[in-house]
Amino acid sequence: MQIHFNNKNDKEYQFMLNNLLKDIFLDFQFWYDLNLWDENYESYSIVENGEIVSNICVYKTQILFNQKQYCALSVGAVATKKEYSIMLPIVKTVF
């Protein structure tokens, strides 16, 4: 397993990430096609055998609060393949 970081338009990486996200959420290809991935969007993934098995993305942004500007992070695209989730046995027991 490797931890992989990406903050650019890397088509091969986007393809691998989209394979995971399609299984969990929806197809993000439209987002990639619009070139909305910039240096402020960072993806952190666990890759095994050429496949992303877990991912979390953060978007660096600025927010205005009480007339002051702050740096902020928005967390998104949190996904893990079922077979790699350590919580799966707990979820099966509870539900």
pLDDT surpasses 60 at 92: no
What's at 20, amino acid-wise?
L
pTM: 0.77
Share of the chain above pLDDT 70, in %: 91
Domains and CATH numbers, the chain: 2-94 (3.40.630.30)
pLDDT at 87: 57
**Residue in 9, 15, 11, 7 with CA at minimum distance from that of residue 52:** 15
Given pLDDT bands bounded at 50, 70 and 90, which one contains residue 37? confident
